[in-house]
Amino acid sequence: MNYNEAIEYLYSHAPMFQSIGKKAYKTGLENTYFLDEKFQSPHKNYKTIHIGGTNGKGSCSHLIASVLQCAGYRVGLYTSPHLKDFRERIRINGKMISEEKVINFIEQHQSTIEEIEPSFFEITTALALLYFSEQNVDIAVIEVGLGGTLDCTNIISPEISIITNISYDHTNILGNTLEEIAQQKAGIIKQHTPIIIGEYQSENIKKIFKEKAIELQAPIFFAQDTEVEIPECQLKGFYQEKNKRTVMVALNELRKKGFKISPNDIKNGFEQVIERTNLQGRWQTIGKNPLIVCDTGHNVGGFSYLTQQINAQICNTLRIVIGMVNDKDIDTVLQLLPKHAVYYFTKASIPRALNEYELQQKASAYNLKGECYESVQNALTQAKNDASPDDFIFVGGSNFVVAEVL
């Protein structure tokens, strides 16, 4: 079995949520516990940090990993989704798991995969937790896949837990109100384990987190209510201000737990996060003259910040290449987008992608005008051809659109 065959096997036997959506989501933790027992609970061999929330999980995970690397720790990082290569999900000190390790895992555990039919995320999580143990990491930063309570990462006993924020996303699974979503996300709050909440939208949401923390005797910290000094950072999106504050509060709690993290480690970790962790797709410049920026923000919470930043861009003509997946709150996102931009409606090459003509039709109800393109590359090529050096091109709407331009 070569690497491509191993990945093809994984995709065909355990379809990805990012490709087919809700059908790939398995409720319950039976498979997770089965795999955990089979591999002898590898996550108990190292320390962990658990990060959930709707937006900002990836940025916070990478920032914390970067700072811990600067402090001299060997750091595992498990995030999702990947943009280009499956191996982006599982890294140690920024270096992806090797193709050989992925092949060996699939070959060795093929019969188990066929016996219990785990979801793609269940099997990937088991691989990550086992790999981090085999490679003797000091600590692993583990990003929640979806929700919290029933997420298969929720078997770990972390040093600290973080919930970045709550916004409308995956409502077909997590609930239709922010309160319902908050209840699901609060599932990662653990007994006697510090919990950092990045931001809360309302007193109701704050109350949900507070009550859960009191019930579990977990010290709770609300980053948005905390004064912290924030160093310069490579991540430039407007929305990163909240993520950086959340990370600073989290690092403070890690210090209390005995982690040796100096102000210099924090400064270097913030300034070198992209090189140290290979984070991509966060207000990332991918072209100049015209300036072209892509961002993986894909829901209402993400676009409430992205739109501010897009509007603040000084340019001649604003051009937006956009594609979305069909299970997002598309109408609310479209309402937020600037009406003066020229749009290039497109779709990523995955089954969940919303057809570009349907997207154009929905957009026209909000006075967003532009042409349709059958591929992301075609859309971007046309936007570049149309642009003068003083224009600004934004590419986004989904992780998959960004993946195709990187």
| Whether 172 and 201 share a structural domain | yes
Looking at per-residue pLDDT, the higher value among 162 and 168 belongs to: 162
In the chain, the amino acid numbered 381 is T
CATH number at residue 394: 3.90.190.20
Total count of domains within the chain = 2
Estimate the share of the chain in helix, then strand, then coil, as percent rounded to the nearest 5.
50, 15, 35
Per-residue pLDDT, 363: 97
User: Last residue of some domain: 248, 277, 306?
Assistant: 277
Per-residue pLDDT, 28: 75
Contact call for residues 55 and 301 (beta carbons, < 8 A): yes
Per-residue pLDDT, 26: 58
Give the residue-averaged pLDDT of 311-332.
93
| Whether 190 and 253 share a structural domain | yes
| Whether 249 and 380 share a structural domain | no
| Whether 16 and 163 share a structural domain | yes
| Whether 90 and 220 share a structural domain | yes
| Whether 99 and 151 share a structural domain | yes
Is residue 173 pLDDT above 70, yes or no?
A: no
- Which residues span the domain enclosing 38? 3-277
| Whether 221 and 318 share a structural domain | no
Per-residue pLDDT, 62: 98
Task: Please give the angle made by the CA atoms of 396, 401 and 402, to the nearest 5 degrees.
Answer: 70
As a whole number of angstroms, the distance between CA 290 and CA 279 comes to: 23
User: Last residue of some domain: 233, 255, 277?
Assistant: 277
| Whether 98 and 48 share a structural domain | yes
3-state class of 17 per DSSP?
helix
| Whether 207 and 355 share a structural domain | no
User: Last residue of some domain: 277, 297, 328?
Assistant: 277
Instruction: Specify the pTM.
Output: 0.92
Give the residue-averaged pLDDT of 124-152.
94
Helix (H) or strand (E) holding 160: strand 160-163
